[in-house]
Structure 1
C-alpha cells in the first residue's frame, strides 16, 4: 500500500457543479483507490451550486466560518470562502482572501508529498509552489486553459502592465513546477517555448466516467423532455458564454424553422439572456432553452438527443477544449462540430469518424450537415459507435488516472 499524501489545490471541487470539479472529483477518487491519502483545498461552492449535491456534502464551519470542512467519499475537503459578489472590489478582495488563507491552511497540513493544481487561475499555481517549497513537496500544474492568452483573445484584457505581470506569472509557474500537464498536443506546442526545461512538459488528456456516461440509461427525465419521435433533436448542453459561436445556430434555426428539426440548448452562462432575447425577437420556436440540469440526468439527456452540436467562437477556438465531447462520445451519439482547423478540438476529432467537422462557410455548411445527417440514421449510428469505441479504448478514467500516477512516480 502506497503511503503518500496528495494535496489537490483547485478553485472548484465537489459539491460545486462544474466540469472541472467533476474531473477532479474523479481524479481524487482514483488516487484514493490506488492507495494515496488525498486532501483537497478548494473554495466554498460558488460557480454552480447544486442543492442536492450540497445537501449530500454539508460544509462544517471552522474558526467561526473563516473556513469550512466537508467529506467527499471519505476524502477531507477544506473550503476557503470565495463569493461571486456583484461589486468588483468585493470580488477582488474575496479572491485575495482565498489565496492568502489557502496558503496558510496549506502550510498547516501535515506531510504533503505532492500538490496537484489545475488552471485557471494562474495565481493558484503560484500559491501551490510556495506551499510546495516550504513543505518540500512536488508540484504538478495542470493546464486546462492557457492564461493569459485566453483573457487577451477574449478582448477583456487591454492593460499592458497586467498582461506583462500575468505573462511573468505564467513563466514562473511553469518553470518552478516539477511537472506540467497539458491536455493535448496543440496546448503542448503553444506553451513549450515558455519552459526552460521541456522534459517537465507532459500530455495527459481528460477523461470520462464511463460508469455514469453510457449509451443506455434507465433514468427518467423531467416532463419537459417530451420524446416526440416526429421531431429530430439537436442538443447543446453546457456553458452559454463567449466561447461559443451562436450565429450559425440562429442562422440554421431560421433556415429550418418550418421543419421537424429542433434545437435544444441547456445550461447557464453570461450569454444566456442574449440567446433568450434573440429567440423571442426572431420568433424562433424551434429553439428551446432550458436551465442547468443535474449531472445525474446528463447521460439520459445525451441519449434523448439525436445529434449533438458544438459551435466554438473563432476568437476562442485555440484556447480551450470542451470536455462535454468525451461524455457525448461515451453515450454513442453523433456530433456536428464547428471549429477551425488545427485547433485542439479539430485535431482531437480528426480521423476518429465520430463527428462532422465544419471549419469553413460555417452557416451554410451547418445547415447542410444537419439536413444530411438527420436523414441518415445509419450514419448517425456509425458516428456514435465510433466515438463510443474511442472512449472505451483510450479515455476512461481508469486509463487516464494511471497516467497521472505514473507521472507522480516519475517525479
Structure 2
C-alpha cells in the first residue's frame, strides 16, 4: 500500500522546541517527510531539555504543517540520571497506553527512535498487539549502552530479558535504520541467526548546511568575545556524558600547557564535574581549558565555528553502540575533526575515508598532544582537512540527502527503483 493510503506516526520523546540533537533531527525528519508528501503526524511529550524546557506547549498543535500531539505525562528537568529514568519511564508508559487504546480509523505505520531506551520493546509490543508495521531507528543500542556504562549487569536477568525484547523488535520490524556500518554489524548480530540483515539500512544523521557554515574567526563575534581570534583553539561542544572520552583531551591539554593552545569545552552533562575536577587537578582549568554552558540556539552558528579544530569523543567499548551527531556538525563547520575513539569506530572510519581529521585511541595522550601540536604548527593542513570535511559533508551528510533516503524507504519508491533496475 502506498504512503498516500496510510497514516505514518513518528514517536519521539524530543521534538521542537527541544534543542537536544534528537529533537532537532526528528523535527527535520518530520517536516521533510511531510514536505515530500508523506501523511505523517508526531506524538511526543512536553519539552524538558535545554532551552526548550522553558516553553510549555499545547497538547495539539502544528509545526510547519506537521500535526503534533503531546501526551500529558509529567516531565521534570533532566539534571540527573534519576530524573531521566523517571522521565523515560513516565513517557514510555503513557505513550504505550495511548497507542494501545487509541481509536484509529486508518492503517497506521509507526516510526520510532531509541529514545527513551525502553522505546523499542514498548513499541514492538504495541505494534504486535495492534497489527501495525513499524520502522526502528537506532540512535543508540540498548541494553548495550547501560551495560558498557556499568549500570546493568551483563548476562543478568534484566539484561537477558531486555536483549530478548530488543531482538524481537529488530526481527519484526519492517525497516531498521543504523547510523553506520559498525552499528549495522552490531544490529545484525543482535538480531540472531534468523534475522534478515537486508532490512537494515544505513542512513547517516545530518546537519543543516545553511545553519552551520564555515566562518573565519576574524569574522566571528563569538571568537572575538571569548578571546579565541588569535589563539589556536580546540573545541568540544555538546553533551558531556560518561561515554564521551574528554579525559584524554584534558590530559593532552596538560601536555600542551605551554604550547599556546586554547581548549574550550561547551555543554553540560553527568560527567562535566568530573572533567572540571580533572582539569583542576592537572592545573589547566582557566588559561588552557575553559568551560562554558550550553549556548543559545541562535548562537550555535558562531560558537560551533569559533575554533580551529572540533572534537568528537567516544569511549572505548561504544563502537557501533552510538554514532556521535557532533561528527556531522564539526564537518559542516569546515574544521578538521579530532576523533578520540577506537580506529574501527564509525566516526574514525569516516574521518579517515575523507582525510577530514585525525583519530587517536582513548587514553593515547601523547598521540593526542602530537596531533594537536602538528595542526597548530601547520595552518595549511588545518585548512586542507577543514575543506575536505566540508566537501565530504556537502556530498554525503546534508539534510535533504538523508531525508530523501528515509522517504524512499518508507514510501516504497526505493524498492520500486531497485526492481526497475
Q: Structure 1 length normalisation: TM-score?
A: 0.88
**Cα 1:87/1:346, change in 2 over 3 Å:** closer
Distance 1:87 1:28, change over 3 A: closer
Pairing 1:38-117 to 2, within 5 Å after superposition: 38-50=40-52, 55=55, 58-60=56-58, 68-80=59-71, 81-84=73-76, 95-106=88-99, 107-108=102-103, 110-117=105-112
Paired with 2:225 and 2:132, the residues of 1 have a C-alpha distance of: 49
User: 2:31 touches 2:65 (CA, 8 Å); kept in 1?
Assistant: no
- Asked if the contact 1:4/1:36 (under 8 Å) is kept, the reply is no
Q: Tell me, in whole angstroms, the C-alpha distance in 1 between the residues paired with 2:349 and 2:44.
A: 32
Structure 1 counterpart of 2:380: 378
Question: Closer, same or farther in 2 for the Cα pair 1:99/1:110, shift >3 Å?
Answer: farther
Which deviates the most, 84-93 or 167-176? Answer: 84-93
Unaligned runs of 5+ in 1: 61-67
Deviation sequence 1:147-203 (CA, Å, 0-9, x none) = 111111111112701101111111121112111111111111112133322232221
Determine helix, strand or coil for the equivalent of 1:180: strand
For 1:341-356, list aligned pairs within 5 A.
Answer: 341-356=343-358
Deviates more, 1:272-281 or 1:27-36: 272-281
1:337 maps to which of 339, 343, 348: 339
Report the CA distance between 1:400 and its aligned residue: 1.1
Change in 2 beyond 3 A, CA 1:244/1:10: same
Task: Give the drift of 1:75.
Answer: 2.1
Q: Call closer, same or farther: CA 1:29–1:221 in 2, change over 3 Å.
A: farther
Q: Cα–Cα, structure 1 residues 125 and 373, in superposed 2: closer, same or farther, change >3 Å? A: same
CA distance in 2, matches of 1:90, 1:331: 33
How far 1:404 moved relative to its partner? Answer: 0.8
Task: Report deviation, 1:246.
Answer: 2.5
Identify the residue that residue 388 of structure 1 maps to in structure 2: 390
Distance 2:298 2:176 in 1: 32
Partner residue, 2:113: 118
The 2-side partners of 1:395 and 1:319 are apart by 20
Give the direction of change, closer, same or farther, for the CA distance of 1:255–1:157 in structure 2 (3 Å limit): same
Contact kept? 2:5, 2:107, Cα under 8 Å: no
Match of 2:163 among 158, 163, 167: 167
Counterpart CA distance in 1 for 2:320 and 2:126 is 31
Q: Tell me if structure 2 keeps the 8 A contact 1:122–1:169.
A: no
Q: Which moved more, 1:387-396 or 1:247-256?
A: 247-256
List per-residue Cα deviations over 1:328-360 (Å, max 9, x = no partner): 111211122121121121222222101012237
**Higher mean Cα deviation, 273-282 or 395-404?**
273-282
Q: Provide closer, same or farther for how the CA distance between residues 272 and 87 of structure 1 changes in structure 2, counting only shifts above 3 A.
A: closer
The 8 Å contact of residues 352 and 358 in structure 2, kept in 1 or not, is answered as no
Closer, same or farther in 2 for the Cα pair 1:377/1:398, shift >3 Å?
same
Q: Structure 1: how far apart are the matches of 2:103 and 2:223?
A: 49
Matched residues in 2 for 1:98 and 1:311: separation? 29
What's the offset of the Cα at 1:78? Answer: 2.0
State the match for 1:191 in structure 2.
Answer: 187
Give the SS at the match of 1:264.
strand
8 Å Cα contact 2:247/2:278 also seen in 1? no
SS at match of 1:235: strand
Q: How much does 1:17 deviate? A: 1.5
Residue 217 of structure 1: how far off its partner (Å): 8.9
2:206–2:397 Cα contact (<8 Å) kept: yes
SS of the equivalent of 1:365 reads helix
| Pair 92,206 (structure 1): closer, same or farther in 2 beyond 3 Å | closer
What TM-score, normalized to structure 2?
0.86
Q: Which moved more, 1:132-141 or 1:241-250?
A: 132-141
Report the secondary structure of 2:50's partner residue.
Answer: coil
The separation in 1 between residues aligned to 2:360 and 2:144, in whole angstroms, is 24
The verdict on how the C-alpha distance between 1:198 and 1:229 changes in structure 2, with shifts beyond 3 A counting, is closer
C-alpha change, 1:157 and 1:221, in structure 2 (3 Å) is farther
The separation in 2 between residues aligned to 1:99 and 1:247, in whole angstroms, is 33
Partner of 1:64: none
How many residues align? The count is: 400
* C-alpha distance after superposition, 1:219-265 (max 9, x if no partner): 97569843443311110001111112233222222222233211000
Q: Which moved more, 1:233-242 or 1:255-264?
A: 255-264
